[in-house]
Amino acid sequence: MGVEIASEVWQLNPSLYLFIIVASFLSIFILPHFSNRTTSSSSDINVISSSLSFKFQRKFLVLYSLSSVLEGLWLVYGEYEIVNYGLNKQQMIVLLSSGCLASLVLGTLLGIFSDALGHKKFCLLFSILHLIMAVWKTLAAHPAIWVASICLSLASSIFSFSFESWMVVEHDKQGYRQDALNDTFWLMSFFESTSLILSQVLANWALGHGSMKGLISSSVITMLLASVNLAFTIRGWPESSAQGKVKEHRAAFTVFIFGDKRVWLLGCAQACLHFSAAVFWIVWAPTIVADGREVQLGFIYPCFLGARMLGSTTFPWTLSGLLSLRIEDCLLYEFIAAGVILSIVAYDYQEIGVFVALFCLFQAVAGLILPTLARLRTMYVPNEFRAGMISLSLAPANAAILCVLIQGGYYRNVNNSTITAFAALGLFLAAGCMYMLKHLGKQPHQSWHKQ
């Protein structure tokens, strides 16, 4: 007599969405009642400055959110397009590896050029790359998906450093208050996560119409959003003045980077976080469905982004006076927490519900780390070198990701648990960097062209 095993479909509890929304709302709106920051600035000058700062912040967040939607459309819809172009798994890995290699080689240089030539030009280039690829995929019968992957990977590199650097430079140029800049950092992470959820909605809407060439397709949606983003960038923002000649800037950048151990430690921590986050997005789905059960992955993805939104809302609490910790101490504990979470995932098999809970916790901690690292960059890195420092710190992370794609995906020499263990080890290394950074102390940085 045979035994029939019914297939089990694991479903997410819908109350989790409500919990994340309510928790985020409470974290944002209860904070002012517990904050110890002084708010007694009653002078007309401070009121006007706050109003202008809020307007500046609002315009930037609109631009950043639109750009995040563009980024998310390729992340969500890209794999579906690659499959429809007839590529098998091995070819997909080679395709992703080519984009990662482009980010490693060219993306690193783009950050340095962004500092020297002005960040607005590269923010425009970000929209132009998305627009060109969208038009190409719409008009061409068989677009070169390899070229598209490389160009969009370069656009992702630009997204990682140019928008933040442009905002910080303009914020300081206008003389706005530092607490407004801190709020912008966590709002960037919050709205980026929200925009990525919107990207999934738009991609699913396009998939529902089942056409890759029609009026309702990912390419057409990308074309419209890129055009709006391009127009908003051109008309809505002043040009960041170039910091100097490229050759002189590169020489000063080299002296600064190789002359300050603090920047090395900060860059190492950033690289470890970038690598662990990339590993998470590579292994989370295979890890959850490793037991063969059917899971609705499309409903789990928004929970991860919602958890990151919730984590970003806790950043103001670390600066409100409730926690008497230095930024380095906060990052030390946050990196340790993230490393412990990934260590549990890598150590042993867990039930799907446990996996989802651990991954949500990891994303919540990552949502807190991102604005905290941005704040630390403001403390240690001059604005003239901010984009270059970010892009340079991502180079070792991209190299490690390339190794993961080749060894773990193409040759299958490394399993997902080992890859996750390396990501956890990187987070513990980042915690060690924060410990050393704290004991080295801080020296106030100066603009290179003023020295």
180-185 average pLDDT score:
92
375-387 average pLDDT score:
94
Asked if the structure places residue 3 within a domain, the reply is no
From first CA to last CA, the distance across the chain in angstroms is: 86
Domain CATH code at residue 204: 1.20.1250.20
What are the backbone angles phi and psi of residue 141, rounded to the nearest 5°?
-70, -40
Looking at per-residue pLDDT, the higher value among 336 and 348 belongs to 336
Beta strands 9-10 and 294-295, pairing class: parallel
Band (442; pLDDT cuts 50, 70, 90): low
pLDDT at 213: 57
The residue range of the domain holding 218 is: 10-32+55-445
376-399 average pLDDT score:
94
Across 202-211, 236-245, 294-303, 397-406, which has the greatest mean pLDDT? 397-406
The total of structural domains in the chain comes to: 1
Structure tokens at 12: 């997410």
Q: Which of 300, 84, 277, 89 is nearest to 200 (CA)?
A: 300
Element spanning 93, H or E: helix 89-102
Asked if the structure places residue 414 within a domain, the reply is yes
pLDDT at 44: 45
Asked if the structure places residue 71 within a domain, the reply is yes
Band (74; pLDDT cuts 50, 70, 90): confident
**Which residues share a beta bridge with 294?**
9
The Cα 367–Cα 85 span in angstroms is 34
Residue type, 176: Y
Q: Is the pLDDT of residue 6 over 50?
A: no
> Cα 63 to the chain's mean position, in Å?
15
pLDDT at 175: 83
Place of tokens 């996750």: 420
The Cα 142–Cα 136 span in angstroms is 9
Place of tokens 């549990």: 344
Cβ atoms of residues 263 and 433 within 8 Å? no
Q: Is the pLDDT of residue 147 over 50?
A: yes
The Cα 203–Cα 225 span in angstroms is 13
402-431 average pLDDT score:
93
Structure tokens at 186: 């966590």
301-315 average pLDDT score:
95
**295 three-state secondary structure:** strand
Q: Is the pLDDT of residue 251 over 60?
A: yes
Q: For residues 366-404, b (16+ Cβ closer than 10 Å) or e, as one string?
A: bbbbbbbbbbbbbebbbbbbbbbbbbbbbbbbbbbbbeb
pLDDT at 19: 92
Asked if the structure places residue 68 within a domain, the reply is yes
Percentage, residues of the chain above pLDDT 70:
87
Contacts of 152 (CB under 8 A, 6+ apart): 74, 78, 99, 129, 130, 133
The Cα 303–Cα 14 span in angstroms is 10
Q: Is the pLDDT of residue 4 over 50?
A: no
pLDDT at 39: 43
Looking at per-residue pLDDT, the higher value among 8 and 128 belongs to 128
Q: Is 230 left (phi over 0), alpha (psi -120 to 50) or beta?
A: alpha
Asked if the structure places residue 1 within a domain, the reply is no
The Cα 233–Cα 239 span in angstroms is 10
pLDDT at 212: 58
Q: For residues 238-272, b (16+ Cβ closer than 10 Å) or e, as one string?
A: eebeebbeeeebbebbeebbeebebbbbbbbbbbb
Residue type, 252: A
Element spanning 10, H or E: strand 9-10
Compute the C-alpha angle 188/302/10, nearest 5°.
160
Band (80; pLDDT cuts 50, 70, 90): confident
22-34 average pLDDT score:
86
Rounded to a whole number of angstroms, the CA Rg of the chain reads 22
Band (263; pLDDT cuts 50, 70, 90): very high
Residues 151-165: tens digit of each pLDDT: 999 999 999 999 999
**Which residues share a beta bridge with 9?**
294
Asked if the structure places residue 397 within a domain, the reply is yes
Q: What are the DSSP calls for 234-272, one per residue?
A: HHHSPPPPP-S-HHHHHHHHHHHHHH-HHHHHHHHHHHH
Cβ atoms of residues 342 and 276 within 8 Å? yes
Band (2; pLDDT cuts 50, 70, 90): very low
Band (243; pLDDT cuts 50, 70, 90): low
pLDDT at 242: 53
The Cα 51–Cα 39 span in angstroms is 14
Q: Is 321 left (phi over 0), alpha (psi -120 to 50) or beta?
A: left
Q: Is the pLDDT of residue 48 over 60?
A: no
Looking at per-residue pLDDT, the higher value among 90 and 331 belongs to 331
Q: Which of 193-197, 231-235, 336-340 has the lowest mean pLDDT?
A: 231-235
Q: Which of 104, 114, 228 is nearest to 166 (CA)?
A: 114
Element spanning 294, H or E: strand 294-295
| Average pLDDT score over the chain | 86
Q: Is the pLDDT of residue 176 over 50?
A: yes
Asked if the structure places residue 451 within a domain, the reply is no
Q: Which of 141-145, 364-368, 444-448 has the lowest mean pLDDT?
A: 444-448
The Cα 384–Cα 253 span in angstroms is 9
Cβ atoms of residues 53 and 177 within 8 Å? yes
Asked if the structure places residue 38 within a domain, the reply is no
The Cα 389–Cα 401 span in angstroms is 19
pLDDT at 46: 52
The Cα 175–Cα 164 span in angstroms is 17
Looking at per-residue pLDDT, the higher value among 358 and 38 belongs to 358
